[in-house]
Amino acid sequence: MSLDTRSVTLHLGLIAALIVLGFVLPTYHQGNLARILVLATYAVGYNVLFGYTGLLSLGHAMFFAAGMYGCGLAMHLGGVTVIPALVIGLICAAALSAVVALLALRTIGVAFMIVTLMFAQSVYLTALYLGEWTGGDEGFVIAQASRQIAGYALTDPLTRYYAALSLFAIALLITARMMQMSFGRVLIGVRENEERTRMLGYDVFRHKLAAVVISGTIAGAAGAGYAVLFGYVGATFASVQYSIFPLLWVLLGGMGTTIGPLVGVAFMFYLIDYASGITNAYMLIAGAVLVLLTLFARAGIVGEIRNRWAPWLP
């Protein structure tokens, strides 16, 4: 099998397996996995920028939140139905990421991290400041009756699971395809050697700009999806914690691998779930496991598998 066929088989196989899982899993895990898939979509978006382009953002929560608030407020205050609300969420995230990119990409390295962090903090504080509409810290709940697409209630666990899976599958397939095309290879070129890439005639700034917008828009799609599927919008999702999460997920799963983000989210979710069943100090167990992983699997779970056994993994 050629590299491209293997990669297509892997991604379609993964999606097929997730479709089957929806039928066989008990409701508890179905709900968990729906949440994991939405958060994995967020991580897939983050991976475009961090894993493939080599730009470390500490402010991605603002894009997640832009999608979430754009979509959630349109439904909550504007009475917009789900599909147009999702589109509004996407537009908000795309617009915010374009503006942030134009300003933040003037910096590199640590300065880029700090600038994105500061932008995200101002988005977070804005969400709190506009509490009259956003509900501030407490957030707001989107009415159950409005959370439906063409008569299918997204509050139903199975429907919600497949809606989450559709969102994730679209993000996964788009990014996987993108990374096989010339555009994606240039992003990797920027990550590996920016000066060389410029001296091959590529407009590095424009490629980085596109990477931020694509990454931010996918993160926003995840935020909008979260609002619609779980019916809650709150400022926590704009906080610095939600900027650190995708970094952790991608590092754990394997940066610059297509399926690493999903593996990272699922691993961390079930690690915390399992540890909290044993002790109240579950973060202690989670922390120890994370330290061990970073010590002994520095490329992340999928990254390590790729390095040791399967160099073809996309």
Partner 1 sequence: MMLLETKGLTRIYGGLRAVDTVDYTLAKGEIHALIGPNGAGKSTFVGMVSGRIPASEGEVWFDGENVTALPAHARIQRGMAYTFQITAIYARLSLFDNVALALGQRDKAKVRAALDRVGLANRMEQIAGDLAYGHQRLLEIAMGVAQTPRLLILDEPTQGLAESEIEEFNTLIRELAGDTTILLIEHNMSVVMALADEITVLETGKILARGTPAEIHANADVQNAYLGTG
Q: Using the rule CB under 8 A, is 6 a contact of partner 1?
A: no
Q: Does 255 bind partner 1 (CB under 8 A)?
A: no
Residue 201 binds partner 1, judged by CB under 8 A: yes
- Out of 107, 122, 182, 241, point to the residue binding partner 1 (CB under 8 A): 182
Q: Is residue 302 near partner 1 by the rule CB under 8 A?
A: no
Long-range pairs of 80-87 with CB within 8 A, sequence gap ≥ 24: 81/146, 82/146, 82/147, 82/148, 82/149, 82/154, 82/228, 83/149, 85/224, 85/228, 86/221, 86/224, 86/225, 86/228
Residues in contact with partner 1, counted by CB under 8 A, come to a total of 17
Q: How many helices (H) and strands (E) does the chain have?
A: 14, 4
Q: Confirm or reject binding of residue 185 to partner 1 (CB under 8 A).
A: yes
Which range in 5-13, 51-59, 83-91, 189-197 contacts partner 1 by CB under 8 A?
189-197
Contact residue for partner 1 among 167, 172, 186, 313 (CB under 8 A): 186
* Residue 232 near partner 1 by CB under 8 A: no
Q: Is 188 near partner 1 (CB under 8 A)?
A: yes
Q: Are the C-beta atoms of residues 208 and 107 closer than 8 Å to each other?
A: no
Which residue lies nearer to partner 1 by CB, 286 or 299?
299
Rounded Cα distance, 290 and 143, in Å: 38
Contact between residue 22 and residue 163 where contact means Cβ atoms under 8 Å apart: no
d(CA 211, CA 206): 8
Tokens of 229: 């599927």
Q: Does 196 bind partner 1 (CB under 8 A)?
A: yes
> Does 198 contact partner 1 by CB under 8 A?
yes
| 8 Å CB contact between 301 and 263 | yes
Binding status of residue 200 toward partner 1 by CB under 8 A: yes
Quick check: 183 binds partner 1 (CB under 8 A)? no
Q: Give the contact letters, 203-222, x = binds to partner 1 (CB under 8 A), - = no.
A: xx------------------
Q: Is residue 202 part of the contact set for partner 1 (CB under 8 A)?
A: yes
8 A C-beta contact, residue 47 and residue 60:
no
Check residue 143 for interaction with partner 1 (CB under 8 A): no
Tokens of 180: 């096989």
First to last CA, the chain: 14
For binding to partner 1 (CB under 8 A), which residues are involved?
Answer: 182, 185-186, 188-189, 192-193, 195-204
